[in-house]
A and B are shown apart, each in its own frame.
Chain A
Amino acid sequence: MSDGMDRRRFLKVLGVAGGGAAALTGCGIGPEPTEKLIPYVIPPEDQTPGLATWYASTCRECGAGCGLHVKVREGRAIKLEGNPDSPVNHGHLCARGQAGLQGLYNPDRITGPLQRNAAGILEPTTWDKAIAALQQQVAAARGKGIVFVTGVETGSFGELVDEWMQQVGGRHVTYEPFAFEALREGNRLAFGDATIPTYDFAAAGYIMSFGADFMETWLSPVGFQNAFTRSHSFESGQNASMAKFVFVGPRLPQTGLIADEWIAINPGTEGMLALAMAQVIVSKRLGNVPPDAARLGLPAAADVAKAIGVDLPVIERLATEFTRTSAPLAVTGGMATHYPNGREIVAAVNVLNYVAGAVGKTVKFGADLAQGLAGQHADMATLTTDLAGGRVALLLVHGANPMHTLGGSFAQAWGKAGFRVSFSSYLDETAAGSDLVLPDLHPLEQWNDSRPRAGVYALQQPAMMPVFDGTKHTGDVLLQVSGKGGTFKSYLQGTWSALQKRLGGKGAFEDWWDAALQHGGIYGDAPSRTVRLAANALAGQSTTGMAAGGEVAVVFPHAALHDGRGANKPWLQELPDPVSKITWHGWVEVHPETADTWQVASGDYLLVKSRFGAVSAPVWITPSIRPGVVALPTGQGHKAYGRYAKDRSFNGFDLLPGEPNAYGGRTHVVSVTLTKTGEHRKLATSEGSTREHGAQVVTVLPLNEARGLKVGELDEEEIPEYAREAERGWADAQHESASLGNYAGEHPRWAMAIDLTKCTGCSACVTACYAENNLATVGEELVVRRREMSWMRIERYWRGDPAAPSGAAVTPMLCQQCGSAPCEPVCPVFAAYHTVDGLNGQVYNRCVGTRYCSNNCPYKVRYFNWFNYAERGGEFEAWPEPLSWLLNPDVTVREKGVMEKCTFCVQRIRATQHKARLEDRQVRDGEIVPACAQTCPSEAIVFGDLNSPTSRVHALSNDPRGYHVLARLNTKPGITYLARVVAGGEA
């Protein structure tokens, strides 16, 4: 059979078609010389050439444990989608989850075991030798200190490591650079329960986040975002209501973009604000205050207001609003839980939840979310001391890169370890410094499991054969080294067999196991238990903020690259940061006032220096941060980790202390000095302007106004008479041409509705589009020249006063599939044309690259191939082997000189039409789901046939909130946006 790769070579053939190939077959278009069809020897049972097979698995890009459906074509995983069965993510994925494929096919994966030779160079070895070397080292190190560092592991692999460490007398340390020490310790302080509860965003009537970036990196971002939009959304109608969302923090992260109100608080005083609110609630007896709240001894709100610089009326209003609903929810996390007083902030927010009656209602203990199970930073500090003291003879690292994230004293002590082993799939800083590298399989190639929360057991199964034969499941290696023998799969089945007994699963194990595999795991409810407020819940509270004289720097996790693990994936590098819109590089966020003080412009470098280190970072001036505070992302600054990550920008972790703070966590907010270096860099940003200049790209409505809105009101535009006349002429012409040939008869009109009240700007859709439609990543240099290929982009504007915005407004911008498209009439070769089903077609093989269409597009959503991004070894090669394996065989790979744009995933439309036709039926509403809509954690995008009166998209396009971007241009877009509704202010 065809290996599915032939389509990808497509346009090269254009050259051949014009000339040489004719000789081969005597036809106009012929095969490339000696194109081969190589059949299977034995056909795999579950593969049909040309059709996709789906495997359920679990995403391991972070510890949240989202369920996956892996799309496999001809034996290769080509797309990841969320598993709708999973209660963790309800069928959706974030950008990082989507990019898991680029870890699988990463061109910088280690292809086989490596061992450091006498000259000190890592050189390839065999598995037999490597495992013998490991066995020898383990035997020699017994009793002299063996430490195994892994990421958060909540399943059988973690148990195996524990068992092995017990056997050899070593210890197992789990390490996540952004761990949840403050949350656990704060919960212990307030409730005497150091576990992580579930937060029921879906049931909440009012949501306050004290720093928690719960849609980006915090605990379970996809699930939280999905639940959040269930309560924070607007359904039209006079009595329509929505939960208000208030974000409290010194800077707006992506999570804050959707906030109805932003309180730019002095870092460190978040907890005091929560306590002041609690005091107002208790003293004014707002809501159902529990009887034991009176004995808390809450600080007077008026005093707190003065001390933390938030006006008393604001505090009182927040307290009133918070208790007006029966199900309020306050969460704290993100950077607020990485301050020196993070534990106290958590305790304070717990108290607020408690007095407002949220505990047990929207905050439920018992689930113990998996991400929170990572060890403490203090464990790594102890390890550093042990290393420095020569007390570690053998150090093994799996699923963590402490040489990058800890650096400093850890890196110095690293050399003191007797022998270092890495199980990394990539040559990251830690692997590069190891004596033995035993590359693990990628999570998509291996058997494994995890426990995202109590009651939920998620399975991973190999979706394909390993990309590199020389890699080996670390579980298999450990079983061999420990003498247990067998494969990790059988070990896993052993633990699952025990699980079946424990859960009382019925039937034979094989049947139970197969059913679990099909669904991606076993999904049960988390047990719930009540907690009581501890007597000393308010110990250690203080009103002192951190930004009191001098600058403080917040080192926050990059939304896409996280702690740096995403930096080797070009999709994530090229994904504009949801807030700053900067790609491929780090930045330091500086308020305009602070920028004036330092006389810097965006792109000027500042040397940011703390007591622990210094980094040089280009300035991004933004009103989304509090004056006097600067903020830098982690994620970049790798010294190894492959071609996409190495030597790029700065490492934010360098600014941070290695010592643990009072609650065993790592402090991410440090005092810094700033110095202008005189260097400048043009930032690779995808942003055009921070303001809309009256274009009303995002229509924002207060809740009161949205309630009274009539259908069509938002689109009402003054259209001049000449335009009306032109429109009439156009309509006549359309009427005439609509009766011709192909166009005659009834056709669907494919259309989309995007609810901007639901869209949070998380950008998962952008990466999903890259994955589905073979979009090339072009690199920093070309992004600077505005040549990115992102068919879908998220535009972010500031709301309100430009100097002190009240928040942000975001919108996905993609081809509007205009009914009267400006791009179509200007194409001299009919490459841009109107399809019968209402799409703006773009025929790549017809396009000659005049770029007239792009010039004439008012939405600027057409993208031109300036280079041949698919060229092997080319300067701008986007898919070096084996990255090209992830290309979608159903979508043409475009060549140099061709214009491209969003197609509404026409390949999915056609595939669904084929399927419906084979089953002798019509396409059902909701059956066609474009990649963006599929992955959207907020379910903000609805796709369907506008001409069908029963379709969802038809109903939504007639929603009172519906409007069309730049409607006055008479482009008749196929995308209806539903206006962003901002809650707050209304009675």
Chain B
Amino acid sequence: MIAVAGGSLAAQAAQPAPGTPGYRAPIITDTSRLPGPRQPIFFRHDIHAGQDRIPCMYCHNTVAVSSEPGMPALRTCFGCHQIIGGTTPAHQAEIAKVRKAWSDRTAPQWIRVYWLPGFVHFPHMRHIKVLGTGPESCANCHGAVNGMTQISQVSTLKMGWCISCHMARNVSRDCSLCHY
């Protein structure tokens, strides 16, 4: 285990980018300063997507076909974590929560981070179709998730933000595209 947190600038510079071979997610000792809402299980995208390089669509598997990206079912979590128990006491404690949830058949209630009001219809699949399925495509709106210890909202999701991208790419700005 390589300790990165609190490491020198030089050590961080030597660290490969998240999602590339050799990247090690940091060890977190203080979660209170992490941006974004605290989740019922300390799920770390930087470990799953950044260090282990699991493709986004392994868990969010309907994003290319549906307006909804799909939240992974608990069975997906348990599929790996019935074997992977974690290497540190902190990790083991969090993974134990997953195993307990599975044995209780109770799904964790994640706090929603990205949210659109009901009068906006956002088709994920159309954006994936154009941008691709890799982490860099998701990053357009969700930021570099594979380097995020805890998910926080990086874009405003205001209409102006949508429109600016649609104008830059010269695609439709018709109101009824999203509002109906």
* Co-assembled chains A and B: yes
Taking beta carbons and an 8 Å cutoff, which residues of A are in contact with B? Answer: 1-2, 6-11, 13-14, 17, 25-32, 34-43, 48-51, 741-742, 833, 835-837, 839, 841, 843-846, 890-893, 903, 906-907, 910, 914, 917-918
10 contacts between A and B (CB under 8 A): A6-B115, A11-B118, A27-B157, A29-B157, A32-B115, A36-B111, A39-B71, A835-B174, A903-B176, A910-B123
**Docked CA distance A844–B119 (Å):** 8
Partner-binding segment picked from B2-10, B61-69, B134-142: B61-69
Residues from chain A with Cβ under 8 Å of B67 in the complex = 50, 914
Which residues of chain B (70-86) have a CB below 8 Å from chain A?
A: 70-75
Contact B65 A10 (CB under 8 A): no
Contact B176 A918 (CB under 8 A): no
Contact A28 B158 (CB under 8 A): yes
Chain B at the A interface: SS class: loop
**Docked CA distance A500–B123 (Å):** 44
Contact A10 B126 (CB under 8 A): no
Extra contacts, 10 of them, besides A25-B113, A41-B102, A891-B180 (Cβ < 8 A), are A1-B70, A28-B158, A31-B112, A38-B109, A49-B71, A741-B173, A892-B119, A903-B176, A910-B123, A917-B129
Q: Mark B94-132, 1 if CB is under 8 A from A, else 0.
A: 000000001001111111110111110101111001000
Contact A903 B65 (CB under 8 A): no
| Complex partner residue of B153 from A27, A37, A741, A843, CB under 8 angstroms | A27
Residues from chain A with Cβ under 8 Å of B108 in the complex = 38-39
Known: A6-B118, A25-B153, A27-B158. A49 touches B68 (CB 8 A): yes
Residues from chain A with Cβ under 8 Å of B62 in the complex = 48-51
Residues from chain A with Cβ under 8 Å of B105 in the complex = 41
**Docked CA distance A893–B62 (Å):** 25
The reply on B156 being an interface residue by CB < 8 A is: yes
**Docked CA distance A40–B68 (Å):** 14
Residues from chain A with Cβ under 8 Å of B168 in the complex = none
| Nearest 4 A/B pairs, CB to CB | A10-B118, A7-B118, A50-B68, A50-B66
Min CB gap A16→B, angstroms: 9
The reply on B177 being an interface residue by CB < 8 A is: yes
Known: A51-B62, A741-B173. A892 touches B74 (CB 8 A): no
**Docked CA distance A860–B121 (Å):** 28
The reply on B172 being an interface residue by CB < 8 A is: yes
| Complex partner residue of A742 from B124, B157, B173, CB under 8 angstroms | B173
Contact B68 A843 (CB under 8 A): no
**Docked CA distance A713–B172 (Å):** 38
Contact B175 A31 (CB under 8 A): no
| Complex partner residue of B66 from A51, A741, A833, A835, CB under 8 angstroms | A51
Contact B176 A843 (CB under 8 A): yes
Contact A914 B125 (CB under 8 A): yes
Known: A841-B175, A910-B121. A35 touches B115 (CB 8 A): yes
Residues from chain B with Cβ under 8 Å of A42 in the complex = 73-75
Residues from chain A with Cβ under 8 Å of B106 in the complex = 41
Contact B118 A8 (CB under 8 A): yes
| Complex partner residue of A13 from B117, B129, B177, CB under 8 angstroms | B117
| Complex partner residue of A30 from B74, B102, B115, CB under 8 angstroms | B115
Q: Which of B72, B112, B119 has the most chain A CB atoms inside 10 A of its CB?
A: B119
Residues from chain B with Cβ under 8 Å of A837 in the complex = 174
Residues from chain B with Cβ under 8 Å of A910 in the complex = 121, 123, 176-177, 180
Closest to B114 in A: A31
**Docked CA distance A891–B119 (Å):** 8
Contact A39 B115 (CB under 8 A): no
Residues from chain A with Cβ under 8 Å of B70 in the complex = 1, 48-50
Contact B158 A40 (CB under 8 A): no
Min CB gap A3→B, angstroms: 11
| Complex partner residue of A27 from B66, B125, B156, B175, CB under 8 angstroms | B156
| Complex partner residue of A41 from B66, B107, B121, B173, CB under 8 angstroms | B107
Contact A40 B176 (CB under 8 A): no
Min CB gap B115→A, angstroms: 4
Contact A43 B75 (CB under 8 A): yes
Residues from chain A with Cβ under 8 Å of B118 in the complex = 6-11, 13, 892-893
Contact A38 B110 (CB under 8 A): yes
Residues from chain B with Cβ under 8 Å of A31 in the complex = 112-113, 115
Min CB gap B145→A, angstroms: 15
| Complex partner residue of B172 from A27, A836, A841, A907, CB under 8 angstroms | A836
The reply on B179 being an interface residue by CB < 8 A is: yes
**Docked CA distance A27–B158 (Å):** 8
Closest to B166 in A: A742
Closest to A25 in B: B153
**Docked CA distance A540–B108 (Å):** 76
Contact B68 A2 (CB under 8 A): yes
Known: A31-B115, A38-B110, A836-B172. A43 touches B65 (CB 8 A): no
| Complex partner residue of A845 from B66, B109, B117, CB under 8 angstroms | B117
